[in-house]
Amino acid sequence: MVSVTTVVLAALAVVASAAPACKPLAYTLPQAGEGDELAAPAANLVLKKIAIGHGIQNYSCETTASNFSATGALAVLYDATPLYPKTKKTGINQREWDSLPTNLLRNQPLPLNKLAGSTYGADPTKPFPDPADLDLQGLPRSKFLGHHFFDNKGVPVFDLGTAGLKAVVKKVDGIAAPRSADAGITGSGAVQWLQLDDNLSGQSRGIKMVYRVITAGGAAQACSVAGVGVQSVPYATFYWFYG
Ligand SMILES: *[C@@H]1O[C@H](CO)[C@@H](O)[C@H](O)[C@H]1NC(C)=O
Ligand SMILES: *[C@@H]1O[C@H](CO)[C@@H](O)[C@H](O)[C@H]1NC(C)=O
Ligand SMILES: *[C@@H]1O[C@H](CO)[C@@H](O)[C@H](O)[C@H]1NC(C)=O
């Protein structure tokens, strides 16, 4: 017969091994590795979420001879934090992690309500379908986290409604995506990596800095190629949120 003491000791041993014996996981913002890098997050900030986003970048061309101008973006955000490599039980390997944006871009339909008659355009009256989790083949599901859009003043917003977080931001810095980045479905290139800070309008909740890294697709096509009017270019990326 097993004594009560043995059972208790065994139970304690299980608890001890389940307790965080090692240091908390260190989240390291990716670097582009080709020269200029984005500044590191301020030392007093902590990582709140890593999202994987999928949507469109919008541009407009006045004439076929002009330069395009960026007019906004729409994306659905999923919580990728539990998939971060070395996360206990749910972490995926580094290679799978680094290729998440390209996997998402190329293996999932755009999670936007389509604008009739367009290839990648979104319905302006109701761009987002009902919230749904992300189910990429062979990987754990990622929970729906919220939306990225531009408000009626043209200001970029990240509404991480399910986490009670929100970021209303301004662009602080941008660097070219690495040469090896996924040029996207249209082949127009990967959008820049960005540092975005709270725009100090008092509308952000729990977020002070946002980084866009490991971008896939989303760059504009030259106006001469795209023609006149709005282009919507599919992209996927990581967004790292600090607060
Ligand atoms: C496009 O932008 C570049 C760099 O800012 C500028 O030199 C060029 O004149 C612009 N071209 C047109 C057609 O506006
Ligand atoms: C982006 O373009 C789509 C059309 O593809 C439109 O529905 C949406 O309102 C635009 N959004 C922004 C922020 O420019
Ligand atoms: C910040 O965003 C708010 C909301 O759109 C806007 O009213 C304000 O002008 C923005 N401020 C800056 C500095 O971008």
**In the chain, domain spans:** 44-242
Ligand 2 within 6 A of CB of 232: yes
Q: Which atom of ligand 1 is nearest to the CA of 223?
A: 13
Ligand 3 within 6 A of CB of 168: yes
- Residue 22 is predicted with a pLDDT of 65
- Residue 15 is predicted with a pLDDT of 42
Question: For 153, what's the count of Cα atoms within 13 Å in the CB-facing half-sphere?
Answer: 7
- Ligand 1 pocket check: which of 67, 223, 224, 225 to mutate, most ligand atoms within 8 Å of Cβ? 67
Ligand 3 within 6 A of CB of 199: yes
Ligand nearest to the CA of 69: 1
- Residue 86 is predicted with a pLDDT of 95
Calculate how far, in angstroms, residue 174's C-alpha sits from the geometric centre of ligand 3. Answer: 19
- Residue 14 is predicted with a pLDDT of 43
Please list the pLDDT of the chain residue by residue as tens digits (243 residues): 444 444 444 444 444 444 455 677 899 999 999 999 999 999 999 999 999 999 999 999 999 999 999 999 999 999 999 999 999 999 999 999 999 999 999 999 999 999 999 999 999 999 999 999 999 999 999 999 999 999 999 999 999 999 999 999 999 999 999 999 999 999 999 999 999 999 999 999 999 999 999 999 999 999 999 999 999 999 999 999 999
Calculate how far, in angstroms, residue 58's C-alpha sits from the geometric centre of ligand 3. Answer: 20
Ligand 3 within 6 A of CB of 153: yes
- Residue 20 is predicted with a pLDDT of 52
Calculate how far, in angstroms, residue 24's C-alpha sits from the geometric centre of ligand 2. Answer: 40
Ligand 2 within 6 A of CB of 231: no
